[in-house]
Amino acid sequence: MKLRIASYNVHGFVGMDGRRDVARIASVLRGLDAQVIALQEVIFAERGSRSPEPVEILAELSGYHAVSAPIQRDDGVTFGNALLSRLPVRETRRICLSYPRCEPRTALEVIVETGARPLRVVATHLGLRPAERRFQVRRILEHVEGDEQSVTVLLGDFNEWFLMGRPLRWLHARFGRGPSARTFPSRFPLFALDRIWVHPQRALCGFSAHASGPARRASDHLPVVAQVEV
């Protein structure tokens, strides 16, 4: 059984034109045609906001079930990771990745029913400081260590600019040296910040950035899509 699994930093639903447009992001998501999509930089609510959560709007527009892991920042904005799934979700869990004196971060772990092997998805958005990312990658690797029964997918915006940095080396050691594609900035991509790793590595059957015209305008990152054999 092959699944399409995607990751997309939606930049608070603000596009390259500076306009916030949830429906535009939903249109890009439909174009991915993925069974599971991890989202980063989702703004759930601003201070005093009473509008519906954007993840719920996306679930309605795109035909997905939504799972979210919101965090409240010091400025009152509630933001974080979310996951959209067309498949039944069996379990969810948060992994705290917050680092001292930095913006709070989490990873969202979801167990998805596939009808075959369990699919374990860990979606995250790592921090901006190198020491912060090293701490966060160690936490994630400790969490996924030892699970050889599931197909494990680790994906998200890893904010890792250094190809020989320790976080990437540690991730390659666990998951294998997976493919990469330039995703940031979306109009003229130079950096491979958005990635998908799969364990066992042989379950990864394909990987690419989704560089359609709408995707280049809807966010400052391009989505990435992997084909995974479960």
pLDDT at 51: 65
CB 57, CB 26: distance < 8 Å:
yes
Residue from 8, 4, 2 nearest 123 by CA: 8
Q: How many CB atoms lie within 10 A of CB 92?
A: 14
Give the pLDDT confidence score for residue 139 in this predicted structure.
96
What sign does the CA torsion over 99, 49, 222, 26 have? positive
CATH number, domain of 63, equals 3.60.10.10
Complete edge-to-edge strand list for the sheet that includes strand 36-45:
65-72, 78-85, 36-45, 2-9, 224-229, 204-209
Report the phi/psi class of residue 52: left, alpha or beta, with left for phi > 0 and alpha for psi in -120 to 50. Answer: beta
Say how far apart CA 133 and CA 129 lie, in whole Å.
Answer: 6
pLDDT attached to residue 33: 95
**Rounded to an integer, what is the distance from CA 99 to the centroid of its chain?**
19
- The token pair that represents 213 in the structure block: 């015209």
- Residue 186 · residue 215 · CB < 8 Å: yes
**pTM for the complete prediction?**
0.94
Count of structural domains, the chain: 1
Closest C-alpha to 219, from 187, 173, 191: 187
d(CA 1, CA 116): 8
Q: Which domain holds residue 29?
A: 2-229
Q: Identity (one letter) of the amino acid at 149?
A: Q
pLDDT at 173: 93
Give, in order, the Cα–Cα distances in Å from 73 to each of 130, 136, 139, 209: 21, 18, 21, 30
Output the tens digit of pLDDT for each of the chain's 230 residues: 899 999 999 999 999 999 999 999 999 999 999 999 999 999 887 766 666 777 888 888 888 989 998 888 777 788 899 999 999 999 999 999 999 988 999 999 999 998 878 899 999 999 999 999 999 999 999 998 877 778 999 999 999 988 888 999 999 999 998 889 999 999 999 999 999 999 999 999 999 999 999 999 999 999 999 999 98
